[in-house]
Amino acid sequence: MGKLTIPEQELMRPGHMGCLGCGGTLAMRLALKAAGPDTIISIPACCWAVMPGVWPNTCMGIPMLYTAFEVTGASISGIRAALDAKGKKDTNVIGWAGDGGTFDIGLQALSGMVERGTNALYICYDNEAYMNTGIQRSSSTPEGAWTTTTPVGTENYWEQGRKKDMISIMVAHGIPYAATANVAYPEDFVRKVQKALSIDGPTYLQIFAPCPTGWKSQPAKSIKLAKEAITSLAYPMYEVENGVYKINRKPKEQTPLKDYMLKQGRFRHLTEEFIEEQQKMLEANWKRLLKLEEITNEE
């Protein structure tokens, strides 16, 4: 029998306010299991600023600081500085933000936190749009997606920009550890959280977190969709430790991007040609990633 690698202790109690099939709630449950009770978490405006519950209730079993949208990086620097002043070096500090609060409005503070070398873990749960505010596009939204600020209309007004490559931005900072993860692979995510927390320095995790509400997908299919994000190359799962790349899952067989996209209402308007173009772009990214893995692992 295999060894159970996910801790049993539940630090996220029942009663959260997330939607059915929410990847973000699963991600939090796993992250807290991985981090354990000696942890302080800072959460800016995002779904998770609402999901713990309304005052005076909370589903969170660890101390939690709600913060403003753009401040997560600065906030965890402040918490760490205070803990250092108190001599509490072992307490984990986690910043937990959505893609809007990370890729867009929080990017400056995140950059500052990493550059300063704050000993804290920043986790972005990436659902590829501003879901809490009503599904507006962010710079994490993939090209072609419908959102409420990139509606389809008669003018093909869907998302035009490419998804921002945050891991490369983090790697460019010389961050000791950055990785993507996926809610469909809990053991991998738990390992990455524990790995990141074991490092004395800034670390960044970005977990793919399906949002049935914003993606117009079936809640029951979130995990299946998350697996397909990997096999279709839409969201590769990899980690970068001190500049060395390691791809954690290489699909034995690539699945068509079309199958992944057309399970989601947000892509349903796209033509076959458009999806083919996207697939080519993702394949090029994948090749580049394989090359990066090869180059950075050379002696």
Binding site for another protein (CB under 8 A): 37-40, 42, 49-50, 52-55, 58, 60-68, 70-71, 73-79, 81-86, 91, 108-109, 111-112, 115-116
Nearer to another protein, 60 or 229 (CB): 60
Identity (one letter) of the amino acid at 208?
A: F
Nearer to another protein, 102 or 141 (CB): 102
Is residue 240 within 8 A of residue 192, CB to CB? The reply is no
CB of 58 to another protein, least distance (A): 5
Nearer to another protein, 93 or 292 (CB): 93
CB of 96 to another protein, least distance (A): 13
DSSP secondary structure string for all residues of 158-181: S--SPPP-HHHHHHHTT-SEEEEE
DSSP-H helix ranges across the chain: 23-35, 72-86, 99, 107-116, 166-172, 186-198, 212-215, 222-231, 257-261, 272-296
CB of 33 to another protein, least distance (A): 15
The 10 Å CB-count burial string (b at 16+, else e) for 60-77 is bebebeebebbbbbbbbb
CB of 180 to another protein, least distance (A): 25
Nearer to another protein, 173 or 216 (CB): 173
CB of 109 to another protein, least distance (A): 5
Nearer to another protein, 15 or 112 (CB): 112
Is residue 233 within 8 A of residue 290, CB to CB? The reply is no
